[in-house]
Amino acid sequence: MIFRVFLLLLMAGPLWAVEPGEILDDPVLESRARDISKGLRCLICRNESIDESDAGLARDLRLLVRERIVDGDSDEEVVAFVVERYGEYVLLNPRRNGINLALWAAPPILLLAGLAAAGVFVVRRRRSAWPDALTAPERARLAELMDE
């Protein structure tokens, strides 16, 4: 029984990242803050959201998000403020515009280019593997070799 409780507490670890002192009194505003926090990356922990991270910087970002929400900013304004301050790396889901568009499009384009190059290689290889009909001197030499 104690072991199960211990396992449940370990699994609930990310829930403890948001400290009780950070939680807003208004449940609607707190829900907005949680939704925004889930989309922002902890700059120390890399692939964790600031909502899941125990790092000090993540705590500061959570407080900043809540402060901006209390000040009346919309969700988009809060995210824009954080991105302006820390760069697009702070977004767990990068935007699909500008240079990011090239990064999103590169894998399928490179895959198609690789398949095309492989197709060209195979076609050329087949053509070189089967030579055209033998010339007259080659046929004569072949007949001579076959008679021996």
> Residues 22-56: pLDDT tens digits?
777 788 988 898 999 899 998 888 788 888 888 88
19 torsion bin: left (phi>0), alpha (psi -120 to 50), beta (else)? beta
pLDDT at 13: 46
Q: What are 41's strand-pairing partners?
A: 49
- Show me where the domains of the chain are located: 2-90, 99-147
Q: Cα–Cα distances in Å, from 35 out to 93, 109, 121? A: 13, 33, 50
Say yes or no to pLDDT of 110 above 50. yes
pLDDT confidence of residue 9: 54
pLDDT recorded at residue 92: 84
How confident is the model over 61-72, as a mean pLDDT? 91
pLDDT beyond 60 at 16 = no
pTM comes to 0.59
Position with higher pLDDT, 82 vs 131: 82
pLDDT at 108: 93
Distance of CA 21 to the CA centre of its chain: 32
Q: Which CATH number fits domain 2-90: 1.10.3720.10, 3.40.640.10, 1.10.8.640, 3.40.190.10?
A: 1.10.8.640
Q: What is the mean pLDDT of residues 55-84?
A: 91
Q: What is the arithmetic mean of pLDDT over 119-123? A: 91
- Whether the per-residue pLDDT at 87 is higher than 80: the answer is yes
What was the pLDDT predicted at 119? 93
